[in-house]
């Protein structure tokens, strides 16, 4: 009987790299007592003449407020990301992450000038909605997509109105919208 060798493979380069960067950013935040998040991994209303303002529109998705925040987001990313990266390709998933980061950063900057934003929650919601639209065929909308959109986005709208906490429901909603639109566009291409 022939023995099969098992090997560990880097199966999802974009998602695994994203998770690693988030881990390093959170570790830096811990080591610097929050300075690194404020400088690089959190978006807030700062002058548009400051080049870091523009950089933070993208890098805020790497920063997390603590280990629980990081673990919660990374769990979803590691569950959904590899499947989506395999289906749509690394470049498309990188674009979804970039579009989500820019959209959540810009909306936060414009609509919530007194709120700092960090974390990958918008990216997580983009992947949740993107995963629910994976099986779309021309002229069809899956019932699962409708249910996920209603449940996840409805919950965020409800909590955004009724619950006062440090969770950015706006980032979840914007991320979900980005994931839905990207899913529609990516499925239309294929």
Task: Give the per-residue pLDDT at 104.
Answer: 95
Average pLDDT over residues 131-154: 77
Q: What three-state secondary structure class fits 32?
A: coil
Looking at beta carbons, which pairs linking 154-160 to residues 24 or more positions away fall under 8 Å?
Answer: 156/125
Q: What is the pLDDT of residue 180?
A: 87
Res 165: pLDDT: 59
142 versus 115: the higher-pLDDT residue is 115
Q: What is the pLDDT of residue 108?
A: 92
Q: What pTM did the predictor assign?
A: 0.88
What mean pLDDT comes out for the span 104-115?
92
* Percentage of the chain lying above the pLDDT 70 cut: 92
**pLDDT greater than 80 at residue 167:** no
Angle between helices 90-111 and 13-31 in degrees, nearest 10: 40
Asked if residues 133 and 180 have their Cβ atoms less than 8 Å apart, the reply is yes
Q: What is the pLDDT of residues 10-66, one digit of tens each?
A: 899 999 999 999 999 999 999 999 999 999 999 999 999 999 999 999 999 999 999
pLDDT value at residue 134: 75
């Amino acid at each position: 009987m022939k023995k099969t060798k098992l090997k560990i493979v880097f199966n999802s380069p974009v998602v695994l790299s994203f998770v690693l960067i988030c881990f390093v950013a959170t570790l830096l935040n811990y080591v610097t007592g929050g300075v690194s998040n404020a400088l690089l991994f959190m978006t807030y209303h700062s002058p548009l003449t400051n080049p870091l303002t523009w950089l933070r529109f993208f890098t805020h998705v790497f920063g997390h407020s603590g280990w629980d925040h990081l673990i919660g987001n990374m769990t979803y990313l590691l569950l959904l990301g590899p499947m989506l990266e395999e289906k749509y390709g690394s470049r498309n998933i990188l674009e979804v992450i970039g579009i989500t980061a820019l959209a959540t950063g810009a909306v936060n900057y414009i609509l919530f000038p007194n709120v700092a934003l960090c974390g990958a929650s918008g990216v997580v919601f983009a992947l949740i909605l993107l995963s629910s639209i994976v099986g779309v065929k021309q002229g069809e909308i899956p019932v699962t997509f409708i249910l996920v959109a209603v449940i996840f986005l409805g919950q965020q709208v409800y909590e955004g109105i009724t619950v006062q906490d440090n969770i950015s429901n706006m980032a979840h909603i914007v991320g979900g919208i980005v994931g839905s639109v990207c899913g529609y566009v990516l499925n239309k291409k294929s």
